[in-house]
């Protein structure tokens, strides 16, 4: 994040219906609108420093090939959040089921493991989002040597 609060990497998603996508990200997930250009079908969103842009599909979009749902195949974005349960409650109330249910995961980094609760959700256009709530660290588990 630079001194003006802009993230150094900000994905931009092409979406079919900006209002539908903005509702998903703002009302259900908890993003806020940093700025918008409704006349261009564009909105810039922020959630505690996690930022992304949405642009409604139009003739001048930077589309490199045919778009077929779900969009963003082969990509998932990890977004750290403070309260996964609150997000899941809003999604459930809206009738949206996770792509993968919430579960605990541990990822090794040298001699420690970082823990998180994670859930995978697809947005209205099929972009895959992995929301994580950090749970802490622990010493790394012993890894068996399979070679000998």
CATH of the domain at 100: 3.10.180.10
**Structure tokens belonging to residue 8:** 């150094």
Is residue 6 domain-resident? no
Is residue 65 domain-resident? no
Backbone φ, ψ for residue 79 (5° rounding): -130, 115
Is residue 103 domain-resident? yes
Q: How many domains in the chain?
A: 1
Per-residue model confidence (pLDDT) at position 2: 66
Per-residue model confidence (pLDDT) at position 4: 75
Per-residue model confidence (pLDDT) at position 95: 96
Per-residue model confidence (pLDDT) at position 71: 85
Q: In sequence order, what DSSP letters do the residues of 59-81 get, joined into one string?
A: TTS---S---SSTTTT-EEEEE-
Is residue 33 domain-resident? yes
Per-residue model confidence (pLDDT) at position 63: 79
Is residue 35 domain-resident? yes
Is residue 56 domain-resident? yes
Per-residue pLDDT in tens (0 to 9) along the chain, 148 residues:
667 788 999 999 999 999 999 999 999 999 999 999 999 999 999 999 999 999 999 888 887 778 888 888 888 999 999 999 999 999 999 999 999 999 999 999 999 999 999 999 999 999 999 999 999 999 997 655 455 4
Is residue 102 domain-resident? yes
How many angstroms separate the CA atoms of 35 and 20, rounded? 17
Q: Which residues of 41-53 are buried (b: 16+ CB within 10 A; e: fewer)?
A: bbbbbbbeebbbe
Closest listed residue to residue 131, CA positions, set 120, 145, 142, 115:
120
Q: In sequence order, what DSSP letters do the residues of 96-119 get, joined into one string?
A: PPPSEEEEEEEEEETTEEEEEEEE
Write out the residue range of the structural domain in which residue 39 sits.
12-60+71-139
Is residue 1 domain-resident? no
What is the model's pTM? Answer: 0.87
């Amino acid at each position: 994040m630079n001194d003006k609060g802009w993230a150094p990497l900000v994905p931009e998603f092409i979406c079919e219906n900006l209002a539908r996508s903005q509702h998903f990200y703002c009302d259900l997930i908890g993003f806020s609108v940093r700025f918008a250009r409704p006349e261009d079908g564009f909105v810039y969103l922020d959630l505690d420093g996690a930022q992304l842009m949405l642009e409604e599909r139009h003739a001048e979009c930077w589309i490199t090939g045919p778009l077929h749902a779900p969009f963003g195949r082969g990509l998932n974005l990890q977004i750290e959040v403070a309260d996964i349960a609150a997000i899941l409650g809003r999604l459930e109330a809206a009738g949206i089921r996770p792509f993968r249910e919430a579960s605990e995961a541990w990822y090794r980094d040298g001699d420690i493991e970082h823990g998180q609760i994670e859930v995978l959700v697809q947005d209205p256009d099929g972009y895959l989002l992995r929301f994580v709530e950090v749970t802490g660290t622990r010493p790394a588990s012993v890894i068996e040597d399979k070679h000998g």
